[in-house]
Amino acid sequence: MTVKSPQTKDALSGKKTTARNIVEKIWESHVVRQNEGHPALFAIDLMLVHEVTSAQAFQEIEKRGINVADPTRVIATIDHSIPTRQNRTEIYDEAARAQVEALRNNCKRHGIRLLDFDGGQGIVHVVGPELGLTQPGMTIVCGDSHTSTHGAFGALAFGVGTSEVAHVLATGCLLQQSPKSMLVEFRGRFRKGVFAKDAVLKLIAELGIGGATGHVIEYTGESVRAMSMEERMTVCNMSIECGARAGLIAPDATTYAYLNGKEHAPTDENWDKAVAYWNSIQSDPGAPYDKRVIIDLDELRPMITWGTNPGQGAQLTETAGAGAAVADAGRDRALQYVKLENGQPLLGVAVDWAFVGSCTNGRIEDLRIAAQVLAGQKVHERVTFYVVPGSESVRTQAIAEGLDKVFENAGAQFRMPGCSLCLAMNDDKVPEGLRCISSSNRNFVGRQGPGSITHLASPATVAASAVAGCITSPESYFAK
């Protein structure tokens, strides 16, 4: 494939321009070398590492006798395969224990900082921003598809496989083809009880799960500007669910207010220098994009998925199968798996489990919203409700605010940080045949446990449904 020539035409207007968008600016500032007809030699500023996708990468470089090129550009944590019970430091599962041990040894051997139990541990995409490691204009990778989360800060952040983890360990670089760009504008304002998760689920339902393949999305619009960093992370996190390579939001005062004072954020005159640089990566006025999408939020109601991929979603007030093509084999297969009839109302479908957590919605703001719904309420007797903070620091903050008591009084379990029920590769699993309403990011067949059924929704919808024992709108909790 030939290298993409500098883009001069906008997809919508067809106008030619020299203006550049933020994706192009970050891309161009990280191309180390471009050989004719080859992918770019592309510099990576930060790599996040976790236990599941790194062991084979360390083996690969050691086999070749290569050291880690720059340990100051790598940070590690444990999140996917660990338990979330109180006495979590003892991992009963032999393979999971070996995986965590392997990461500890690899980090020690190569001088990489590891955020271990009681040492700042958390989900990889929660701890990076918390520590101020994620900064605008950076290139960030991790052996994890939800690396797009870090785009909330105006970083170009994307998931890679284990071979590419090895490439970055060995060289600090990757071979990459330049991405296409897509502008997604969220127009209008959220109604009460509708959240960032609903906006991104709406986008994925509109685009389909392959709709943004090959593209990096820039999210814009007045509602995006009004979003907190937590909400922006939720939106960028789910970019991969419509196939995008990454998703990002240009940095602004909200970004800088969040970063300022964080452990690894620049200080004093370096801060001023950094802000000047971060302001320079904004998309130029009239910058072109390969594709443009507009999503109206004014009338949007809370979203939920009814099927077995994140694109099979609808507003709560709609029905199972909504939005899918008539006589779509994928729709029918999905409905059969989730035990719903085509056209069946989604409101009122009984749920057995509920989950607030994950790299999508496991931050302090998500826990506050869940607590706002649960305050003075009881979780339905049939429902098992896990609230899993995204990191030790989220957990500490939640306890300081008394949220743990709210969850416990309502009958929900407030657990230790980790990926937990998002992906069923640790002790936390939804039992076969049971239905879970979940704030996580994927509803693939068996994602939360063999034979489990998943409905993705916002933390507010999860909490409201856990109280009612069935799929329920949270809007009444937020109508003042």
Least distance from other proteins to the Cβ atom of residue 123, Å: 14
- For other proteins, give the closer residue by CB, 41 or 375: 41
Residue 192 binds to other proteins (criterion: CB under 8 A)? no
Considering only 300, 371, 406, 423, the residue that binds other proteins (CB under 8 A) is 423
Residue 475 binds to other proteins (criterion: CB under 8 A)? no
Least distance from other proteins to the Cβ atom of residue 173, Å: 5
Residue 45 binds to other proteins (criterion: CB under 8 A)? yes
- For other proteins, give the closer residue by CB, 133 or 387: 133
Alpha carbon distance 63, 75 (integer Å) = 22
Residue 214 binds to other proteins (criterion: CB under 8 A)? yes
Residues 437-466 that bind other proteins (CB under 8 A): 442, 444-447, 450
Considering only 4, 16, 38, 192, the residue that binds other proteins (CB under 8 A) is 38
Q: Tell me the C-alpha to C-alpha distance, in Å, between residue 215 and each of 104, 197, 240, 292, 320.
A: 35, 20, 10, 11, 29
93's CB contacts (< 8 A; 6+ apart) are 81, 426, 427
Scanning the structure block, which residue is given the tokens 């994950």? 358
Q: What single letter denotes the amino acid at residue 178? A: S
Least distance from other proteins to the Cβ atom of residue 388, Å: 16
- For other proteins, give the closer residue by CB, 53 or 121: 53
Q: What is the dihedral of CA 293, 297, 299, 304, to 10 degrees?
A: 90
Scanning the structure block, which residue is given the tokens 């607590």? 371
Alpha carbon distance 371, 130 (integer Å) = 21
- For other proteins, give the closer residue by CB, 174 or 194: 174
Residue 282 binds to other proteins (criterion: CB under 8 A)? no
Least distance from other proteins to the Cβ atom of residue 60, Å: 8
Least distance from other proteins to the Cβ atom of residue 338, Å: 14
Considering only 22, 23, 48, 52, the residue that binds other proteins (CB under 8 A) is 52
Residues 290-349 that bind other proteins (CB under 8 A): 309, 329-330, 333
Which burial class, exposed, middle or buried, applies to 347 when counting CB atoms under 10 A from its CB (0-12, 13-18, 19+)?
A: middle
- Binding residues for other proteins, how many (CB under 8 A)? 85
Considering only 273, 339, 378, 382, the residue that binds other proteins (CB under 8 A) is 273
Alpha carbon distance 203, 221 (integer Å) = 14
Q: What is the largest CA-CA distance in the chain?
A: 65
Residue 425 binds to other proteins (criterion: CB under 8 A)? yes
Least distance from other proteins to the Cβ atom of residue 109, Å: 14
Residues 80-119 that bind other proteins (CB under 8 A): 80-81, 93, 95-96, 98-99, 102, 113
Residue 25 binds to other proteins (criterion: CB under 8 A)? no
Which range, of 127-135, 220-228, 358-366, 392-400, touches other proteins by CB under 8 A? 127-135
Residues 352-411 that bind other proteins (CB under 8 A): none
Considering only 107, 133, 238, 250, the residue that binds other proteins (CB under 8 A) is 133
Residue 198 binds to other proteins (criterion: CB under 8 A)? no
Residues 143-182 that bind other proteins (CB under 8 A): 143-145, 147, 158-164, 166-167, 170-175, 177
Considering only 104, 116, 228, 243, the residue that binds other proteins (CB under 8 A) is 243
Considering only 23, 48, 55, 430, the residue that binds other proteins (CB under 8 A) is 55
Q: Report helix angle 364-374 to 459-468, nearest 10.
A: 30
